[in-house]
Structure 1
Amino acid sequence: MSRVVLFSGGGDYVDPWHPFVETSAVLADILRDEGFSVDSVLTVDELAERSSGADLLVVNAGGGPQAHPRDADLRAAVDGHTGGLLALHVASTLLPEHDLWEERLGGRWVRGHSMHPERGSMRLVRAAEAAAGDLPALIDTVDEAYSWLRVADETRVLYRQDHAGEAHPVVWVRESDGVRSAYSALGHDVEAYDSPLVRALVAQLARWASTRIAH
């Protein structure tokens, strides 16, 4: 059984906008339904202690408007994790002063540039460059439509959403140095996971990111 460490906001990392404990409980259920063993942690110290040897690190926490006093410790914990990575929603704001996070994730939220319109109905459209596989062409949900995220050239975008006449990356994956990383900007609140297609997408990203690349 593959082991997941789920780092959730609500302990060391918390903000007034996101119900991290509730959304992390939903994520844990999705992962367990996929056959993962899930170890949920709320603090950076717990993360550093338990992430060793984990097949997948799932991050459901955010950085808030400023750098966090424990960012150096979080960076060290992430750097020490050698398995796959799945980051969700506001996790793209983490570690604003550490390039490692953007390099590992394949993109990030850029303060003063990235934004989202008011939470509401949104449609994800499968990117033309994404291998179709089991990915549906469209996903309809209720969430925050993250816009103007910065994405590296080597990152493979799976879904985009339209805002202000532009198509914005929302879900992407990347491989670097034999390690897989995936990001979904979805997941503001529990309702964001009501769609069976969104839950299936999270499960698929977790399976992909947790799979070791053969050398």
Structure 2
Amino acid sequence: MRAIILSGAGRYADPWHPYAETSARLAELVAAAGYDVEVRDDVDAALAALRDDVDLVVVNAGDPDGPVPDGVEADAQVEVDDTALAAAMDRGIGVLAMHASASSLRDYPAFDHAIGARWEPEVSWHPPFGEARVHLVGTHAVCEGLDDFTVEDERYANLRLLEVIEPIAEHEEGGVRHPLVWAREFGRSRLVYDALGHDARSYDSAGHRALLARALEWLSHVPAPTADDRRGAAGPTSAT
């Protein structure tokens, strides 16, 4: 299996997230899941040239319209080519979208449809970075065998829901539960969004690493069967 990690740099960098550091930690986890891993920080070029043999895309990048760190030059005149990503989604691919990716790849309709919810300025927010309790919810395969855990991280709240999602984990803030990790299936592709992963401390949590291992295992089963495939596998039915 082959995986590409899109790591925030250039217009996908920001002053808050150490993408090179977290992408390196993600590369270790993805490799442990059985993938040959390539980390790319030329995000737009990597997506334009996305090959047919890529089974997993990990998005670990920031808002292309947001501020960039001091000393970083971001070319605002980028010609975006969504063709290869859209074709990959059609044929069946796994997508692991991490943390700030809720505000990333805004120019890519295929990703915009896939992720399920977005960070919306002046609506979405996060409490201060610190220790948080992650509550596993639902019956999705990614949850199987996992327990609630703690993590040092930044947790997003009030993301704007755009599509149907299947919650995997939540966090509580001010007495309200917010979706933190979810899964989606669309056509033959699968996506897991994980709002954790602000910096390397997030990956020091054994519980978070276990959750990501389960997510990567589920994402590896692509192309996923569609509803029509499942009906066909069940065989014909007869009227009574």
Query: What TM-score do the two structures reach when normalised by structure 2?
Result: 0.80
CA contact (8 A) 1:92 1:109 kept: yes
Per the alignment, residue 62 of structure 1 pairs with 62
CA drift of 1:80 comes to 3.9
Distance in 1 of aligned mates of 2:27 and 2:156: 23
Give the conservation status (yes or no) of the 8 Å contact 2:8–2:19: yes
Check 1:34–1:128 CA distance in 2 against 1; reply closer, same or farther (3 A cut). closer
For the structure 1 residues 133 and 72, does the alpha-carbon distance in structure 2 shift closer, same or farther, using more than 3 Å as the test?
A: farther
Question: Structure 2: how far apart are the matches of 1:50 and 1:183?
Answer: 20
Who is 1:113 aligned against? Answer: 123
* SS of residue matched to 1:103: helix
Alignment of 1:24-43 (within 5 A): 24-43=23-42
Alpha-carbon distance between aligned partners in 2 of 1:179 and 1:129, rounded to the nearest angstrom = 20
Aligned to 1:192: 202
Deviation of 1:60 (Å): 0.4
Bigger mean CA deviation after superposition, 27-36 or 93-102: 93-102
What is the count of residue pairs matched by the alignment? 213
Q: Which structure 2 segments of 5+ residues have no match?
A: 68-74, 230-240
Once residues 129 and 45 of structure 1 are traced to their aligned partners in structure 2, the CA distance between those partners, rounded to angstroms, is 38
Alpha-carbon deviation of 1:62?
0.8
Q: Is the 8 A contact 1:75 1:95 kept in 2?
A: no
1:134 has 2:134 as partner: no
Residue 66 of structure 1: how far off its partner (Å)? 3.7
After TM superposition, give the deviation of residue 39 of structure 1 in Å.
Answer: 1.1
In the superposition, relative to structure 1, how do residues 111 and 100 fare at CA in structure 2: closer, same or farther (>3 Å)? farther
| Distance (Å, rounded) in 2 between the aligned partners of 1:101 and 1:186 | 19
Aligned to 1:170: 180
Partner-residue secondary structure (3-state), 2:80 = helix
> Which letter maps to 1:49?
A
Q: Does 1:92 align with 2:91?
A: no
Letter in 1 for 2:146: L
The C-alpha deviation readout for 1:110-151, integer Å capped at 9, x for no partner, is 111110011001111112454642232x12001001111123
Structure 1 contact 92–108 (Cα < 8 Å) conserved: yes
8 Å CA contact retained: 1:85, 1:210: no
> Is the aligned partner of 1:81 residue 2:88?
yes
Deviations 1:47-97 (A, max 9, x none): 322443211100000115549836761645532433111100000001446
Contact 2:11 2:64 in 1 (8 A): no
User: Is the CA contact 1:12–1:42 (under 8 Å) kept in the aligned structure 2?
Assistant: no
Aligned-pair identity (%): 33
Please report the TM-score for the alignment, with normalisation by the length of structure 1. Answer: 0.89
Q: 1:97 to 1:59 in 2, by over 3 A?
A: closer
Question: 2:17 maps to what in 1?
Answer: 18
- Between the aligned partners of 1:107 and 1:12, the Cα distance in structure 2 is 21
CA distance in 2 between partners of 1:55 and 1:41 (Å): 15
Q: Report if the CA contact (8 A) 2:118-2:162 is conserved.
A: no
- Structure 1, unmatched stretches of 5+, are none
The DSSP-based 3-state class of the residue aligned with 1:81 is helix
- Where 1:59 maps in the other structure, the secondary structure is strand
* Secondary structure of 1:38 counterpart: strand
Q: Report the AA paired with residue 62 of structure 1.
A: G
